[in-house]
Amino acid sequence: MTPIRQTTRRQFLRSTGALTTTAVLGFPAIVRARSPGESLNVAVIGVGGRGASNLGEMGSENIVALCDVNERNLDAAAQRHPQARKFADYRRLYDDVKNLEAVVVSCAEHTHAFAVLPALQLRKHVYCEKPLSHSVWEARLLTEEARRAKVATQMGTQIHAGTNYRRVVELIQSGAIGPVREAHVWVGRAWGRQDAEAAKRNKDIVSVTERPAGSSPIPAGLNWDLWLGPAPERPFHEVYFPGPKWYRWWDFGGGTMSDLGSHWNDLPFWALKLKAPLSIEASGPPPHRELAPASMTATYEYAARGDQPAALLKWYQGEEKPAAWREGTIPKWDSGVLFVGSKGMVLSDYSKHLLLPEEQFKGFKRPDPFIPDSIGHHKEWIQACKTGSPTTCSFDYSGPLTEANHLGNVAYRVGKKLLWDTANLTVTNAKEAAALIRREYRQGWKLA
């Protein structure tokens, strides 16, 4: 077998910019360098569900403010952090909290950009749950603002910090399976528009095919108007709240594509050094005006990148699967990523991976690890806030990943192959895509 390329740790750090992060981020010009043991003044926006978990990861820091549109979540978080100021509206938080240094954003997807942008404009460090934004335009806006702010940013793609992904990236980038010209990503989750029978089969917690005609009583303590934020006004109904019910609705989320794509497309995005696709094409059931599909596919074309050839990335969700999976030529994992190279394949999920065909790779000598193990996804960000060290899912990386995931949904909803002009944030062959790239906001809400 042809020897694989060896990449040293220093070469990897140089290629990812980690050796020059201090210069790029502007530390300590923007923020004072400090000891890793010194507490950071953190505000947490969204403190229920995923937000409660993120708040728990901030336990070593000084929580100065808590914000949630749901009083029950807010009061529960305040019991653990009685010194923190409480807010229902994050806009008031930014007006009133003067000792703020960093912000953790874990509210619903359609309000991410509205909670993140003021923090960046105030030169505060930001950790934001995935997906970074609700639209392509919002993702680009936050990416560019983060560059100007020169602060530490991280998107909540926690699996990125695991050792398994790092070992897979090393295999691909060192040439273990030769040049990779196609990759397939599939997720078993089938949440979205489907009938009760399909929902039960796919273990969905919601069966919904249309917007409900009526309304439900607003739960005590929930500020429904603030929860809606920039989304079009509609009466409260239990099919939208609490999460993750809302993410099936286009007004509030991007379905499985933008949600789980943040985790699963992360691996090929990292390993193959992907950024903006040339084209995107999707298929599935007829698009619905309001609901994301339970099952769909999306195919991305990428140009050659450095020493890596042009490549296709194909996404499958729900009941859709790659041909190799359906034909049984690879293990039928519920979710996975398959890299197809000229000399073999790599199959991975979150925690394990295989070189295929296994017989061919008996006795294979793996490359020496050159991607350092993470100290922890949240810890990376906290350390970066204090010292200027790099994070691995900064908005410079996760912004383009988020854009690509959203473009899969845009292609599905438009119903044609899209030619993407990333420099101008434009689909050149479908004017109707513009309204999905950047949407109108409810009166009284704007990003500036």
Taking all residues of the chain, what is their mean pLDDT, rounded to a whole number?
Answer: 91
Residues 81 and 205 in one domain: no
Q: Flag whether the pTM goes above 0.95.
A: no
pLDDT at 21 over 60: no
Mean pLDDT of 191-200: 77
- Return the pLDDT at 276: 98
Residue scoring higher pLDDT (376 or 34): 376
Contact yes or no for 373/11 (Cβ under 8 A): no
Span of 17-26, 351-360, 406-415 with lowest mean pLDDT: 17-26
Residue 7 belongs to some domain of the structure: no
pLDDT in tens, 241-260: 998 889 999 999 999 999 99
Query: What's the CA gap between 18 and 68, in Å, rounded?
Result: 35
Query: What's the CA gap between 433 and 11, in Å, rounded?
Result: 40
- Return the pLDDT at 25: 38
Residue 5 belongs to some domain of the structure: no
Residue 327's Cβ-count burial label (10 Å; 0-12, 13-18, 19+) is: exposed
Q: Say which residues have a Cβ less than 8 Å from residue 240's Cβ, sequence separation at least 6.
A: 246, 249, 252
pLDDT at 28 over 80: no
Give residue 348's domain range: 163-223+247-372+400-437
Residues 277 and 150 in one domain: no
Residues 48 and 185 in one domain: no
- Return the pLDDT at 34: 62
Query: In CATH, what number is assigned to the domain containing residue 265?
Result: 3.30.360.10
Residue 241 belongs to some domain of the structure: no
Contact yes or no for 248/96 (Cβ under 8 A): no
Residues 258 and 336 in one domain: yes
pLDDT at 24 over 60: no
Residue 231 belongs to some domain of the structure: no
pLDDT in tens, 258-317: 999 999 999 999 999 999 999 999 999 999 999 999 999 999 999 999 999 999 999 999
pLDDT in tens, 72-107: 999 999 999 999 999 999 999 999 999 999 999 999
Residues 273 and 386 in one domain: no
Query: What's the CA gap between 105 and 47, in Å, rounded?
Result: 9
Q: How many domains does the chain have?
A: 2
DSSP state of 222: B
Determine which helix (DSSP H) or strand (DSSP E) holds 300, and give its type and residue range: strand 296-302
Query: What's the CA gap between 106 and 112, in Å, rounded?
Result: 8
pLDDT at 1 over 70: no
pLDDT in tens, 158-177: 999 999 999 999 999 999 99
Query: In CATH, what number is assigned to the domain containing residue 30?
Result: 3.40.50.720
Residue 445 belongs to some domain of the structure: no
